[in-house]
Structure formats: structure tokens, C-alpha cells
A and B are shown apart, each in its own frame.
Chain A
Amino acid sequence: EPEVTQTPSHQVTQMGQEVILRCVPISNHLYFYWYRQILGQKVEFLVSFYNNEISEKSEIFDDQFSVERPDGSNFTLKIRSTKLEDSAMYFCASSLGGPPEKLFFGSGTQLSVL
């Protein structure tokens, strides 16, 4: 079965630094998502992206966050100035169609902000 690939699997950064989390969605998918899970908490929606623009975002997704699909294959999440509370597992997902289509998730990037 095709897979969503996320890199790196672990990233450690200093507070205030910029990080970019990278994802390669399944090639013919059209909808792209970022979710995150802080340790011990629920998986939370961050943002959905369709037709080269954000289609929905959560309250978490403030001005410090941005997403981009720079080259038609990668889908990135940038955090401009990381905070301690950004430490979490970040999951990328993609789907062929909109809801309630099955989401395919990557295995996540564990971000640690020190």
C-alpha cells in the first residue's frame, strides 16, 4: 500500500528557532493535513490544505505556523519561532478526496523544543 513519508523522525531544536517538518504525501492525493499529539494528550487537528491553499485551520495554527506545497510532491509545516509547548509528535496525512475519505497518516516527527 502507498505510504505517507515524514522526515525527520526526530528533531531537537532550541526555543526561538525555526523548524520545518517535511512530508511526502501519496502522489495522487489532493487533500493534505497536519495533526499533532502532545505527550499524554489527544491528537489535535492543525490545518488542512487543498488546491494550494489552506481550507481549514484550528486555533492552534496561529501566525507562527505556515504550510507550503513547494514542488507538487512535498508538503511542509514551518514553525517560525518554536516554543517549549510546541514539543509534540507531528503527523502529516493525505487523502484522495475530502471528508469522509480515508486519511493516510505518516509515522510522525517527534519535535522536542529545549
Chain B
Amino acid sequence: AQSVTQLDSQVPVFEEAPVELRCNYSSSVSVYLFWYVQYPNQGLQLLLKYLSGSTLVKGINGFEAEFNKSQTSFHLRKPSVHISDTAEYFCAVSKIQGAQKLVFGQGTRLTINP
């Protein structure tokens, strides 16, 4: 079975500061890795995904994530955040073979303060 742990339930940062949202996963088989974002009163949207190849993945809105296989991590980063980045961020995995479901972490609420 797969599991995902997001180490921080809430992260407050000031506008224009850098941010890192942490994600670790556990799986006995190879997985795809995803970050989804949920803005207030909206559905989840895909930020980025790692399938294979380069371990640094760039997504929408200036976000990027780095896959680290030895540490089973997939941390999300942005060098300079904006007020509009205030949202809930979800890390997720899915098995490469067979399964269709996403397994989510518990989410990290990112709050940007002016």
C-alpha cells in the first residue's frame, strides 16, 4: 500500500518570501508523484507531476518540486510567493502499474501574509 505524509499542516509566510512544502511517501512499488492545489471554494487543480526523467519538475504559477528517491520525498518550492498563492496544497501518489487511484497526504494550508 502507498501512504503520503505532509509534515506541515499549516505554513505561514510573508509575501515575496520563499516557501517549501514538504512531502514524504511510502510505497513498495514505483509511483507517480503529484502536487494538487485547492483555492478557496474551488476543486483541486494539478500543479505538477513527476513521472520519470529529470528529478526537478516545474509546474504552473512558478512552483517546482524535486523528487528524491533515496529520501522518498517530493518537496514543493516557490522562490517568491504571492498573496494569490494562499490555498491548500496536497501531495499525492499513484502506482505506476495497475491502480487508478490517487493516494493523498493530509494537505498543507499555505497562508501568505502581506
State the A residues within 8 Å of B (CB).
3-4, 31, 33, 35, 41-45, 48, 50, 55-56, 58, 91, 93, 98-100, 102-108
CB distance from B26 to the nearest CB of A (A): 14
The interface residues of chain A lying within 8 Å CB-to-CB of B46 are 102-103
A-facing mask of B96-109, CB < 8 A → 1, else 0? 00011111111100
Q: Are A99 and B43 in contact (CB under 8 A)?
A: no
CA distance A3 to B102 in the complex (A): 20
Q: Are A108 and B43 in contact (CB under 8 A)?
A: yes
What total of A-B pairs shows CB separation below 8 Å? 60
Q: Are A45 and B43 in contact (CB under 8 A)?
A: no
The interface residues of chain A lying within 8 Å CB-to-CB of B43 are 3-4, 91, 93, 104-108
| Contact flag A42-B102 (CB < 8 Å), given A4-B43, A105-B44 | no
The interface residues of chain A lying within 8 Å CB-to-CB of B41 are 107
- Point out the residue from B34, B42, B90, B101 that lies within 8 Å of A58, measured CB to CB: B101
